[in-house]
Structure 1
Amino acid sequence: MSAPLKLAVWDIDGTLIDSRKVIQQAMERAFARAGLPPIEYDRTRTIVGLELSEAITRLAPPDYPAEHIMQLATYYKEAFVEQRAEKGFDEPLYEGALETVERLADEGWLLGVATGKARRGLDIVFGHHDLHRLFDTLHTVDGGPGKPHPRMVLDAMRETGTDPHQVVMIGDTRFDMEMGRNAGVHALGVSWGFHTEDEIREGGAHSIHHDFDGLNAALDAFGASVEGRVA
């Protein structure tokens, strides 16, 4: 009998990639270009993971004209592109991230992505870190509704032939947890990214982990539970 399928769906920003600095700087540049007051990190971090126009709408001043939202979003995208071209630009993997996804792939797990990034941005990050080779299914906001809608996780399950009990969603925001819960899968939160532990818990995390050692243990336990269903 072949081993049961197991799918780990990963968020990117704040979960595998430490993009806190570059996202904040891009947002600061966008707001400055639009002539708006400076934006604080503690506000920016709350919208990471959402589709960009929704995120910008939440951050813009309450009286900001709706017709200017898309221009502000364009300023943000332009600022991100500018940063990537600057000397010293870095979006590093978190310590332990590469080792974890490589281990899971070696052990026969299927790996997926569900991210608020556009596909172009995801491809740039994956190309830089040589991650395409490890992942089986990639889903971005280009394909339809973003987080917390379950669409990306459901599409990943359809592509890989997995059922909800075989799937775990890993992310650093309440939106990741809500998306996973909405798709009926197990939701593991990590505390090293954008949202606080309380915010992640409010999103419905089954458990929250503070380092990759703890996350790896939780993934192993989830994998064992999947295998135990068919033992």
Structure 2
Amino acid sequence: MTASARPLAVFDIDGTLVDSRASIHRAACEAARDLGLPRPDYDRVRKIVGLTLEHALAELEPDLGPADLARFIAGFRASFARMHEEGLQEPLYPEAMAALRRLHRDGWRLALATGQNRRGVARNLAREGWADLFISSHCAEDGPGKPDPAMLHAAMAACDACPATTLMIGDTAHDARMAVNAGVLPLGVAWGFHTVEEQRAAGARHVAETFSELTVVLDGFADLTRAA
């Protein structure tokens, strides 16, 4: 496969590669408690994952004024900091690393596009083997967050790719909308934060139930890219 024909897979992190469901819900609950707010249930929290933190928490508690929203954001960040100081490392989903290594071996270009901040991205890139897999990483601190296409435009520029050779793999409607806005193929996974129906409604062309199913779809995309 020539360099120009090598496809680019841009992966979300939370809910796609890394199982952060428990830690994100815990951080939201602890931040709400510290502010005297009711404990948000998981279904409310899962819907805002993937957005920039400021946008996400404003959606979670839309009645907060600017000062209380700032305290809510600070409390969320402090909760995550405590968890990681205590040694938390959210686990990878089973088969995630094997799938990434296979794609890399098969000549795919790989990048990350996440709603995490740069510190969170650095923490994930410190996982064994990750720094060797991804050409570039893009997060909400770099510019507009999802569903704005800025992160995907930056990933394509960094990886010398174009929309026709690029796809976005995520677990939320925000990922799918970002892909649609960037003109790249939106693919979803069923094991993260948003439902299959939510992702399809946002434009996901396929939502994989397993990593094995996802790699079959990616192999088909690579074949089409190679033949173009």
Q: Same-fold call, TM > 0.5? A: yes
Structure 1 unaligned runs (5+)?
Answer: none
- 1:96 is aligned with what amino acid? E
Report what 2:83 is aligned to: 83
> What is the deviation of 1:199?
0.5
- Cα separation, partners in 2 of 1:184 and 1:43, compared to 1, 3 Å: same
Q: Provide the C-alpha distance between the structure 2 equivalents of 1:58 and 1:2, rounded to a whole number of angstroms.
A: 45
Taking the TM superposition and a 5 Å limit, the aligned residue runs for 1:216-227 are: 216-227=215-226
TM-score with structure 2 length normalisation? Answer: 0.96
Report what 1:151 is aligned to: 150
- Cα separation, partners in 2 of 1:63 and 1:187, compared to 1, 3 Å: closer
1:110-169 deviation digits (Å, cap 9, x = unpaired): 100000000111111221344111100110011100000000000111111111010010
Structure 2 unaligned runs (5+)?
Answer: none
Report what 1:12 is aligned to: 13
1:2-28 deviation digits (Å, cap 9, x = unpaired): 251210000000000000000001111
Identical pairs, percent = 41
Taking the TM superposition and a 5 Å limit, the aligned residue runs for 1:120-159 are: 120-159=119-158
- Cα separation, partners in 2 of 1:129 and 1:199, compared to 1, 3 Å: farther
Q: Which runs of 4+ in 1 moved over 3 A?
A: none
Report what 1:176 is aligned to: 175
Q: Provide the C-alpha distance between the structure 1 equivalents of 2:215 and 2:6, rounded to a whole number of angstroms.
A: 18
The number of aligned residues is 227
TM-score with structure 1 length normalisation? Answer: 0.95
Q: For 1:30, what is the secondary structure of its paired residue?
A: helix
Taking the TM superposition and a 5 Å limit, the aligned residue runs for 1:188-203 are: 188-203=187-202
- Cα separation, partners in 2 of 1:77 and 1:130, compared to 1, 3 Å: farther
Report what 1:206 is aligned to: 205
Q: Provide the C-alpha distance between the structure 2 equivalents of 1:130 and 1:26, rounded to a whole number of angstroms.
A: 27
- 2:112 is aligned with what amino acid? V
Q: Provide the C-alpha distance between the structure 1 equivalents of 2:165 and 2:15, rounded to a whole number of angstroms.
A: 24
Q: Provide the C-alpha distance between the structure 2 equivalents of 1:55 and 1:15, rounded to a whole number of angstroms.
A: 18
Q: For 1:192, what is the secondary structure of its paired residue?
A: coil
